[in-house]
């Protein structure tokens, strides 16, 4: 029996699908000797696996470095720089950008002669403003040592990903593009299973009561929701629901709902099949003017301008970044 994400009420699948999760860059490095590589902060999630060797990892915002061994993997959150090195005290560090344009062997960047450590990584990006809610409060780094029992679920995916990267089989890039999101999902699942006290969107998905309201907002975003109705759906008092939701997710419930509606609206506007009034109705607004005001507040331009700009561009602009030419009117 086939099921759709919405019918399965799987919020994580719904959100990542709507955010158009994409592994847009994959690379590897082979390092040797006294090496140190510095990776800049990016507006994306960065995942790496240690295919061979051992080294240190220092992530911005983390007071204690990690020691990585063969088979370990880690995910670095958005806006965090990090360093991988044989010795973190090494005075000279090569930047990842410089290394990417340096000597390569079979698509692998070679640092300091190579031979000791081999690491493969990929970068995940998303479309839309809702990603700020979903991923802004995850830990600076999620480290999964190879010896953990939970890491066994990742082993096949990581091994297959590495084999495809180094191989020459037909369709290897498409295979990696499918494997990478699976690896990310498995990593997030392991994190969810191991966390107890973290306060973020991912933790809220596992909350026995808040998750009910979140599921309702994501699957029935066109409904005229009130704070009282959402609290009732969660089985909580109005005050308790509002307090606990903001404490865990980081934003008030109605602000959360509006941001999600604008995420969906952007997708509908990109498709170009509905008029503005129809899009407004689809995402829960009785008037086009109310929808336009909410859209402008989140996306920073009018929906009509957004739709015209998207459909007139050859490949379409990414709607997660403000448009410097967007008209306020």
Examine residue 162 and state whether it is found in any structural domain, yes or no: yes
In a domain, 327, yes or no: no
**278 vs 316, higher pLDDT:** 278
Question: Which of 165, 194, 223 finishes a domain?
Answer: 194
Does 145 share its domain with 291? Answer: no
User: What is the residue whose two structure tokens read 């086939």?
Assistant: 2
- Tens-digit pLDDT profile for residues 49-83: 999 999 999 999 999 999 999 999 999 999 999 99
Q: H helices within the chain, ranges in order?
A: 11-18, 96-100, 130-135, 152-166, 172-194, 201-205, 210-219, 227-234, 238-249, 253-271, 276-282, 288-299, 303-312
The answer on pLDDT for 98 being more than 60 is: yes
Question: Which tops the pLDDT comparison, 25 or 120?
Answer: 120
152: CB partners within 8 A, 6+ apart: none
Q: How confident is the model at residue 317, as a pLDDT?
A: 46
Has residue 62 been placed in a domain? yes
Position 325 in a domain:
no
pTM of this structure: 0.84
Residue 198 has what pLDDT?
A: 81
Mean predicted lDDT score pLDDT of the chain? 87
Q: Give dist(CA 303, CA 326) in Å, integer.
A: 11
Indicate if 221 and 189 belong to the same structural domain. Answer: no
Total of domains in the chain? 2
Where does the pLDDT of residue 327 fall: very low under 50, low under 70, confident under 90, or very high at 90 and above? very low
265 within some domain: yes
- Residues 139, 234 share a domain: no
Domain's final residue, options 194, 228, 256: 194
Is there a domain that residue 150 lies in?
yes
The whole-angstrom separation of Cα 162 and Cα 120 is: 7
**pLDDT of residue 23 exceeding 90:** no
* Residue 97: CATH number of its domain: 2.60.120.10
What sign for the dihedral angle of Cα 235, 241, 246, 247?
A: negative
Q: Looking at the predicted structure, is the pLDDT value of residue 107 above 60?
A: yes
User: Which range is most confident: 96-105, 129-138, 229-238?
Assistant: 229-238
* Residues 96 and 241 reside in one and the same domain: no
Same domain, 131 and 250: no
Do 33 and 109 have their domain in common?
yes
Same domain, 138 and 221: no
- Residue in the block written with tokens 């509002």: 242
> 7 falls in which pLDDT band (50, 70, 90)?
very low
Read off the CATH number of the domain in which 219 is found: 1.10.10.60
Residue 281 in domain: yes
Q: In terms of domains, do 218 and 189 share one?
A: no
Whether 305 is covered by a domain: the verdict is yes
* Residue pLDDT, tens place only, 157-202: 988 888 888 888 888 888 888 888 899 999 988 888 877 778 889 8
pLDDT, position 165? 86
Q: Is the pLDDT of residue 3 over 60?
A: no
Residues 295 and 170 in one domain: no
The pLDDT tens digits for 239-257 are 999 999 999 999 999 999 9
Residues 272-279 have a mean pLDDT of 93
At residue 9, does pLDDT exceed 70? no
Using alpha carbons only, give the angle 248, 250, 255 rounded to the nearest 5 degrees: 120
Q: Which domain holds residue 228?
A: 207-312
Same domain, 213 and 146: no
Cα–Cα distance for residue pair 121/141, rounded to 1 Å: 14
Q: What percent of the chain is modeled with pLDDT above 70?
A: 91
Query: Does 139 lie in the same domain as 55?
Result: yes
My answer on whether 186 and 267 are in the same domain is no
Nearest of 102, 99, 79, 83 to residue 91 by alpha carbon: 83
């Amino acid at each position: 029996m086939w099921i759709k994400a919405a019918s399965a009420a799987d919020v994580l699948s719904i959100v990542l699908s709507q955010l158009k999760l994409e592994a847009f860059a994959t690379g590897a490095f082979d390092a040797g000797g006294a090496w140190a590589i510095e990776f800049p902060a990016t507006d994306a999630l960065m995942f790496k696996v240690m295919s061979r060797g051992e080294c240190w990892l220092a992530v911005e915002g983390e007071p204690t470095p990690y020691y990585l061994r063969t088979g370990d993997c880690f995910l670095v959150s958005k806006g965090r720089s990090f360093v991988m090195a044989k010795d973190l005290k090494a005075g000279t560090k090569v930047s990842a950008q410089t290394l990417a344009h340096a000597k390569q062997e079979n698509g692998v960047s070679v640092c300091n002669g190579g031979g000791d450590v081999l690491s493969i990584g990929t970068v995940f990006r998303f479309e839309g403003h809702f990603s700020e809610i979903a991923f802004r409060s995850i830990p600076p780094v999620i480290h999964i040592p190879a010896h953990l029992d939970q890491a066994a679920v990742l082993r096949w995916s990581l091994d297959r990903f590495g084999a495809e990267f180094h191989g020459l089989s037909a369709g290897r890039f498409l295979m990696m593009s499918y494997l990478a999101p699976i690896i990310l999902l498995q990593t997030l699942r392991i994190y969810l299973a191991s966390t107890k006290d973290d306060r973020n969107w991912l933790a809220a998905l596992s909350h026995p009561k808040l998750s009910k309201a979140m599921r309702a907002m994501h699957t029935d975003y066109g409904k005229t929701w009130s704070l009282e109705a959402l609290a009732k759906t969660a089985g909580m008092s109005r005050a308790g629901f509002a307090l606990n939701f903001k404490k865990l997710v980081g934003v008030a419930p109605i602000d959360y709902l509006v941001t999600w509606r604008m995420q969906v609206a952007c997708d509908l506007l990109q498709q170009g099949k509905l008029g503005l009034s129809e899009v407004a109705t689809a995402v829960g607004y009785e008037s086009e003017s109310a929808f336009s005001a909410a859209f402008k507040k989140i996306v920073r331009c009018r929906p009509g301008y957004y739709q015209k700009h998207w459909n007139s561009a050859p490949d379409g602009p990414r709607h997660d970044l403000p448009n410097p030419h967007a008209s306020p009117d």
